[in-house]
Amino acid sequence: MKPSEVYILRQSSAFQEIIFYVISVIEQEIEGVELLFKWGIPYFYYHKKPFIYIAPNKTKGFVDVGFARGFQLHLHQSILIDENRNTVKSLRYFNIDSVDDSVLRDLIQEAKLLYKKIA
């Protein structure tokens, strides 16, 4: 098993449900992403660059879905959380029902445009 899979399976069932759902949406929306285990958390890479991380916060009870270039995103700014970070903005999910599928997909598609391969 890959380190990212082991990490996910060690989370609570509520967190696993959110994480597996977010992973499935990312993989549906973008071809060629790679799920790695970086900085102690599952981290998607796109075109060999950091793209989106998934970080459960057991203390505060949410899963943080962070966009590596979040400050360059324009959609859904009222929902994205920066929390004094310089480049990353994230969505926070406290349960599976709090996941707004259209917002997640919109942001993934917008973030993808920031990684256009230079021909």
**Tens-binned pLDDT, residue by residue, of the chain (119 aa):** 899 999 999 999 999 999 999 999 999 999 999 999 999 999 999 999 999 999 999 999 999 999 999 999 999 999 999 999 999 999 999 999 999 999 999 999 999 999 875 43
Give the separation between CA 85 and CA 10, rounded to whole angstroms. 27
Q: Which residues pair with residue 50 across a beta bridge? A: 45
Predicted model pTM: 0.92
Nearest CA among 83, 111, 93 for reference residue 26: 111
In the CATH scheme, what is the code of domain 3-113?
Answer: 3.90.1150.200
Residue with token string 């859904």: 76
CA atoms within 13 Å, Cβ hemisphere of 100: 9
Which DSSP symbol is given to 119?
-
Residue with token string 């899963």: 63
